[in-house]
């Protein structure tokens, strides 16, 4: 049961009237009950029961973080009386549902549609908590309230801010495939076509058999490899929970992974995705040529950083099992944390690099570099010393990885995605995939 402001006003008027009349004792109680309580009971009895209503939903089921979605609730009134009141479609606070409540009037046998706008601030699945209906009686004094179940979920996808870099990187790929100066044979390069020799061509590219059958000298041209296997591995362990700026390191890594997946798909390569800490959190296997970005985005949406240490042995074993015998480019998005890498991944690098080309990408924190540049009081000097030691450890780990044959990309959140895409393009240009 609920009461409205009218009921409070009525109770106040009744109290003042009894006081002014001079009545005391039992008569005052009888008048109070007759004037206030009885109308409330009658109003509650005449109000439509929310339990009799029928709910159904429709609307958006997914959106990118930063956008808005519309979700509708269709309220059906199968009773013989008119429903007056309000309705609230309840969602988690992070969904930022608006409006909070809506007035509701549904005649007997009719339906009304209530629209709620969601503007989530967190990635993942937002689920409706229920629809609360408040039915007010004809006198407007009191009514009934009940929360009804109306399940619905909206998946909030990663925002993919780095999409703006994709046209420029695709342009670089087209230049790489189209310019003759780049069409030289490299390790693992694919044969493209034959053409006439022009001064400046590498004589090692001359095809003597084809030249013997033609009137002039013919050379072979080579193009960057296509249909190569790329595995993007996202470390969801404790180091990915650290915030760089206002965003977790995991989200920055996701953005870089999406740009790489989109670029590699456009280049004709097969892209697989794996999220791992101590077990597989998400996995997408390429189902053929073309972009896998949509499937990867869907797999990334519910991922959260796990506050536990990643298992490097399990990670290496899972990667080797997932990629089979063929050589692949394995892109590991993790943090260049000296303690975690030296005790975990470093001893197992040889098992991975002997079969695949490994590229480690990490998001550096610009605040650490700013802290290292601080000068002034003793506190600033201590902070600068600690930051400089952190940067020194990071440079040392990067050097050790490169000596082991690992490609390393280390950049701030603003540049990690384009830097990773550039590293992929350079590997393609060098014929190393």
- What local confidence, expressed as pLDDT, does residue 173 receive? 84
**Superfamily of 229-429 according to CATH:** von Willebrand factor, type A domain (3.40.50.410)
What's the pLDDT tens digit per position in 365-379? 999 999 998 888 888
User: Do the Cβ atoms of 298 and 199 come closer than 8 Å?
Assistant: no
SS (H, E, C) 16-65: HHHHHHCCCCHHHHHHHHHHHHHHHHHHHHHCCCHHHCEEEEEECCEEEC
Question: How far is the C-alpha of 156 from the C-alpha of 67, rounded, in Å?
Answer: 9
Note whether 50-157 and 229-429 share their fold. no
Give the C-alpha separation, 356 to 378, whole Å: 48
Check whether the bond before 99 is cis (ω within 30° of 0). Answer: yes
The gap between the terminal CA atoms of the chain, to the nearest Å, is: 70
Sign of CA dihedral 222, 361, 278, 397: positive
Reported as half-sphere exposure (CB side, CA atoms, 13 A), residue 203 has a value of: 0
Q: Which tokens belong to 226? A: 């296509």
Q: Residue 376 has what pLDDT?
A: 80
Give CA–CA dist 230/292, Å, rounded: 12
CA angle 73, 76, 80 (to 5 degrees): 155
State if pTM tops 0.85. no
Assign domain 50-157 to a CATH class: mainly beta
* Interatomic CA distance for residues 326 and 111, integer angstroms: 60
pLDDT for the residue 38: 83
CA 107 to mean position of chain CA atoms: 42
Question: What is the structure's pLDDT at 189?
Answer: 53
Query: Vertex 372, ends 368 and 373: CA angle to 5°?
Result: 120
Residues in the chain: 433
φ, ψ of residue 311 in degrees (nearest 5):
-100, 100
User: What is the per-residue pLDDT across 29-85, written as a single tens digit (0 to 9) for each?
Assistant: 676 677 778 888 888 888 999 999 999 999 999 999 999 999 999 999 999 899 999
Q: Which residues of the chain have pLDDT under 50?
A: 179-188
Question: Would you kindly state where each structural domain of the chain is located, as residue ranges?
Answer: 2-46, 50-157, 229-429
Positive or negative, the CA dihedral 24, 29, 35, 36 is: positive
Q: Are 361 and 420 in contact (CB under 8 A)?
A: yes
């Amino acid at each position: 049961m609920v009461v409205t402001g009218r009921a409070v006003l009525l109770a106040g008027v009744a109290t003042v009237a009894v006081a002014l009349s001079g009545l005391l004792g039992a008569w005052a109680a009888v008048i109070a009950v007759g004037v206030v309580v009885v109308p409330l009971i009658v109003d509650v009895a005449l109000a439509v029961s929310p339990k009799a209503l029928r709910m159904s939903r429709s609307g958006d089921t997914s959106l990118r973080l930063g956008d808005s979605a519309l979700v509708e609730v269709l309220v059906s009134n199968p009773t013989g009386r008119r429903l007056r009141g309000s309705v609230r479609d309840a969602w988690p606070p992070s969904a930022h549902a608006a409006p909070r409540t809506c007035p509701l009037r549904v005649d007997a046998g009719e339906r009304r549609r209530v629209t709620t706008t969601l503007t989530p601030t967190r990635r993942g699945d937002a689920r409706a908590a229920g629809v609360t209906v408040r039915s007010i009686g004809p006198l407007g004094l009191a009514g009934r309230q009940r929360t009804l179940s109306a399940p619905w979920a909206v998946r909030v996808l990663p925002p993919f801010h780095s999409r703006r870099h994709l046209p420029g990187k695709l342009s670089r790929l087209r230049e790489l495939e189209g310019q003759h100066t780049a069409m030289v044979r490299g390790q693992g390069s694919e044969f493209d076509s034959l053409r006439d020799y022009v001064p400046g061509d590498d004589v090692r590219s001359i095809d003597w058999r084809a030249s013997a059958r033609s009137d002039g000298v013919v050379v072979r041209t080579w193009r960057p490899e296509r249909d190569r296997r790329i595995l993007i591995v996202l470390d969801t362990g404790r180091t990915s929970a650290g915030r760089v700026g206002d965003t977790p390191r995991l989200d920055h890594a996701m953005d870089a992974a999406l740009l790489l997946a989109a670029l590699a798909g456009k280049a004709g390569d097969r892209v697989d995705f794996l999220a791992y800490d101590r077990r597989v959190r998400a996995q997408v296997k390429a189902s053929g040529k073309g972009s896998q970005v949509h499937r990867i985005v869907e797999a990334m949406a519910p991922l959260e950083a796990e506050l536990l240490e990643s298992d490097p042995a399990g990670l290496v074993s899972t990667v080797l099992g997932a990629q089979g015998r063929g050589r692949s480019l394995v892109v590991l998005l993790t943090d260049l944390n000296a303690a975690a890498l030296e005790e975990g991944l470093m001893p197992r690098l040889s098992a991975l690099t002997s079969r695949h080309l490994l590229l480690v990408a990490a998001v550096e924190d610009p605040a650490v570099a700013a802290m290292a540049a601080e000068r002034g009081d003793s506190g600033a000097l201590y902070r600068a010393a600690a930051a400089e030691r952190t940067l020194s450890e990071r440079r040392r780990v990067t050097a050790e990885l490169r000596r082991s044959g690992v490609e390393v990309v280390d950049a701030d959140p603003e540049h990690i995605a384009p830097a990773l895409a550039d590293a992929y393009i350079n590997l393609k240009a060098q014929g190393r995939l």
